[in-house]
Chain A
Amino acid sequence: MEETLKIVVLVKHVPDAQFDRHLNGEGNTADRDESILSELDEYALEAALQLAEARGGSKAGNQVIALSMGPAGAVNAVKKSLQMGATEGVHLTDDALAGSDAAATSLALAAAVRHLGGVDLVITGMASTDGETSLVPAQLAERLGLPQVTFASTLEVDGGRLTARRDADTSSETVEAPLPAVVSVTDQINEPRYPNFKGIIAAKRKSISTLSLADIGVDPAQVGFAGSWTTVASAEQRPPRTAGTIITDEGDAGIKLVDFLAAQKLL
């Protein structure tokens, strides 16, 4: 029998970068009123769907679970994932989670992944487009004691092992790891599908289960502001950049550019 896979994709709702983004309130956390599925997470979901489809999809018993942690709005990222084709959605939400840093977030996610049980692969995007720290996937792998392959630009699974290619600036590597494993994929790995009409209708029939900290056996004191290992003492909005000198080329703009660089001592 061909292997089936149970894949968890971490999806995050992030402030839409098309709008101004702000830090607010206690603990200087990001305002997520205008939030969307993080664009980079779509590549992770697509990678999971392709692995599942290559093995006969959900009919053959493959599962692609979209997992999101966060307040009520986080469910939007899960809904979009279901429309793209995830088989089920899980929303980890609890008031005590507010203000969790990477360490606390990874603790809660690790507990959720253990709670789901029998997970072969956890796939994430290469970074979130808001926090930009890229810490959570590596910390999740460390907490679960799993190997992690970051920045995968290809991903294949065969016989309980994964093979991935990573492209770094100075070299390309081929990497192998036994399952279960945590993988983060780049935006070069695939072209994420758009949810089609059928997908949107099908998503309405799929269930989204809600998990609280009690459900996954996490003490509220281990997460949130209290359980975090870092704290943001102060946040200041940078003054917006203002436009400087703008000229129209009259045949000598290249020379003027060099004059400007010389005046700024940048030559």
Chain B
Amino acid sequence: MAKVLVFIDHPGASLKKSSLELLTLARSLGGGAVALNGDLSDSAAATFAEYGVEAVLRPATDTLDDFLVAPKAAYLAAAAESTGAGIVLLDNSPEGKEIAARLGIRLNAGVITDVVAVDPDGTAHKSVLAGSYTTACRATTPVSVLTLKANNVTPEPAGAATSPETATVEVPAVAVAARITAREQKVASGRPDLTDARIVVAGGRGMDGDFGPVEDLADALGAAVGASRAATDAGWISHDAQVGQTGKTVSPQLYISAGISGAIQQKAGMQTSKVIVAINKDAESPVFEIADFGIIGDVFDVLPQATAEIKKRKG
């Protein structure tokens, strides 16, 4: 009987790194099944085998994507019941957390979000209050539902590949759900997802309306672009890029803060980053209190110079 159930939504041709992290964590907790939504490509099936997945479950309906969340939670609850999983793992995206929330009620299971590590006994570790505390939490229920933050597990294929069986799960009807009546894809930036990125370059008020130097440095580093609330409120860059208490929380390996004062709102979104670099004209900026490397200087001099130097070194 599977101990862990991992939810993977639309893997496409190749699984995202965060999905591989979920599969790796699942194996360390005793292994288990994948509950899939969307098409199962040959390459995704091969990856599941490589990562030691025992079974791949698929919904008996293809309408889950027409509605918001509730039917996905119903599907996952049915999948968890059919496999007898004690732990259900999801990604930590807003939708992942929302599915987890509803799933918890359906399974009478405790839900823990923003998890960075799980012990073999099921204890989950996370940081709270904008990274000022780390806590160890447990679900006191027979089943626990955990959402895993990206970049905390190193993806690793299993020692021996498996040949997962495929099974279909009937999805119980949901009385009423919000229906998606139109969907417009946004133009892909080609940059990594802000919340998953290994490196983030973020700009603030000091960019004075011109994010070009931030974007150029981000592209030289293969980084995502972030911004302070002042910059998104001014309309210099899309609201999606906002890092901070009212935006996204990121914890990349490297966070480069350019022209951001680093008020508490902003710090809340980035202070668990491994290495912080700050560039600001004002030597009194609070961001320098938490920066591993700080430069008091003009972003319009320092960023282009760094970008050119990186390009030179990378050849």
Set A129, A150, A175, A232: member contacting B98, Cβ < 8 A: A150
- Tell me if B188 is interfacial: C-beta within 8 Å of chain A: yes
Q: In residues 17-41 of chain A, which contact B (Cβ within 8 Å)?
A: 17-18, 20-23, 28, 30, 39-40
Give Cα A256–Cα B295 distance, bound, in whole angstroms: 9
Nearest CB in chain B to that of A226: its residue:
B140
Contact check, A147 vs B177: say whether CB atoms are below 8 A apart.
yes
Judge whether B114 and A132 touch: CB under 8 Å: yes
What's the minimum C-beta distance from B16 to chain A, rounded to whole angstroms? 12
- Complex formed: what's the CA distance from A54 to B89 in Å? 43
| Residues A266 and B138 in contact, CB atoms below 8 Å apart | no
- B310 to A258, Cβ gap below 8 A? yes
Judging by beta carbons under 8 Å apart, are B288 and A134 in contact? no
Q: Do residues B184 and A267 form an inter-chain contact, with CB atoms below 8 A? A: no
Q: A142-B105, A173-B180, A249-B302 are in contact. Are A133 and B309 (CB under 8 A)?
A: no
- Which residues of chain B have C-beta atoms less than 8 A from A255's C-beta? 305-306, 309
Q: Are B100 and A135 in contact (CB under 8 A)?
A: yes
A134-B94, A246-B291, A266-B254 given; A254·B140 CB < 8 A:
no
CB atoms of A257 and B293 under 8 A apart = yes
Q: Is A167 an interface residue (CB 8 A)?
A: yes
Q: Which residues of B contact A260 (CB under 8 A)?
A: 277, 293
Contact across chains for B135 and A232 when beta carbons are under 8 A apart:
yes
User: Please, which residue of chain A has its CB at the minimum distance from the CB of B179?
Assistant: A176
* A174 adjacent to chain B (CB < 8 Å): yes
**Complexed CA–CA distance, A228 and B141 (Å):** 9
Cβ of A17 and Cβ of B136 under 8 Å apart? no
Chain A residues 221-245 with CB under 8 Å of chain B are 228-238, 241-245
A234 touching B135, Cβ below 8 Å: yes
Other-chain contact of B111, A230, A253, A264, A266 (Cβ < 8 Å): A230
Taking CB atoms, residues of chain B closer than 8 Å to A264 are 254, 275
Set B101, B123, B199, B254: member contacting A233, Cβ < 8 A = B123
**Contact status B309-A135, CB under 8 Å:** no
Selecting from A74-82, A86-94, A99-107, A200-208, the interface stretch reads: A99-107
Cβ of B175 within 8 Å of any chain A Cβ, yes or no, is yes
| Cβ contacts under 8 Å, A247 to chain B | 294-296
> Nearest CB to that of A225 among chain B residues?
B140
Does B304 lie within 8 Å of A254, measured CB to CB? yes
Measured in the bound complex, the distance between the Cα atoms of B307 and A101 in whole Å is: 47
Interface positions, chain B 69-122, Cβ under 8 Å from A, are 69-70, 73, 94, 97-98, 100-102, 104-106, 108-114
Interface residues of A (CB under 8 A from B): 15, 17-18, 20-23, 28, 30, 39-40, 101-103, 106, 129-139, 141-143, 145-151, 163, 167-178, 181, 187-188, 228-238, 241-249, 251-258, 260-262, 264, 266-267
Can you list 11 A-B contacts (CB < 8 A)?
A135-B100, A138-B97, A172-B183, A173-B183, A175-B180, A188-B239, A235-B134, A235-B136, A246-B288, A254-B304, A254-B306
7 tightest A-B contacts by CB?
A254-B305, A249-B297, A229-B110, A138-B101, A177-B178, A244-B292, A254-B306
Binding site for A on B (CB under 8 A): 68-70, 73, 94, 97-98, 100-102, 104-106, 108-114, 123, 127-141, 175-186, 188, 193-194, 199, 221, 239-240, 245-246, 249, 253-254, 264-265, 268, 271, 275-277, 279, 283, 288-298, 301-310, 313-314
